[in-house]
Amino acid sequence: MAHTPYGYKIVKGKAVVDEIEAEQVKNLYRGYLEGLSLKDATKKAGIDCYHATAAKMLQNKHYLGDEFYPPIMDEETFEKVKTERQKRAEKLGRVWEPKEEPKMDLDMKFKAKPLEQKYDNPFKQAEYAYSLIESEV
C-alpha cells in the first residue's frame, strides 16, 4: 500500500480504524451535507488538508469498507455526498460532457504460426513468439 487513507492506521499488517480520525471523517461528511464548503467542512471536522484532499476523501470508497479496510462510512451517507457533489458541480457549471473520440477503424488481421521451439530464456521465447505473427492485410 502506498498510502493509508485518513481515518485508518496499520497495526500488525492490518488496517484498523483510528477512532479519532474516523470521527473527523464522519464530521467532514456531515458538514458537507449540511451545506458547508469543502474548506469549511474540513475546518469544522478538525482536519487540516488541502481542498483537493478533502474532495478525494469524500469520494474514497475505502470508507465503505472492503477486503482490507473496515467501514467508517455508511452507504447511504456516501451516496448522499456523491449526489450533493454532483449537484454543486452542475450548479457551478463544472460538469462537462465527454467529447466523442473519432473512431479509427483499422482493418487489421493477424495470424500466428504454431510454436515449434521452446526456449529457457523468457525474452528469447517472447522474441520467437512475436516472430511467428504475420499480417493478413
pLDDT tens column, 100-110: 888 877 777 88
What pTM, to 2 d.p., does this model score?
A: 0.68
Tell me the chain's radius of gyration from C-alpha atoms. 25
Q: Does domain 8-91 have CATH number 3.40.50.720?
A: no
Specify the pLDDT at position 5: 95
Domain range annotation of the chain? 8-91, 106-137
Specify the pLDDT at position 15: 95
26: three-class secondary structure by DSSP: helix
Query: Over 60: is that where the pLDDT of 137 sits?
Result: yes
How many whole angstroms separate alpha carbon 49 and alpha carbon 19?
18
Across-strand partners of 112? 133
Q: Render pLDDT for 43-63 as a digit per residue (tens, 0 to 9).
A: 999 999 999 999 999 999 999
Percent of the chain with pLDDT over 70: 98
Query: Over 70: is that where the pLDDT of 1 sits?
Result: no
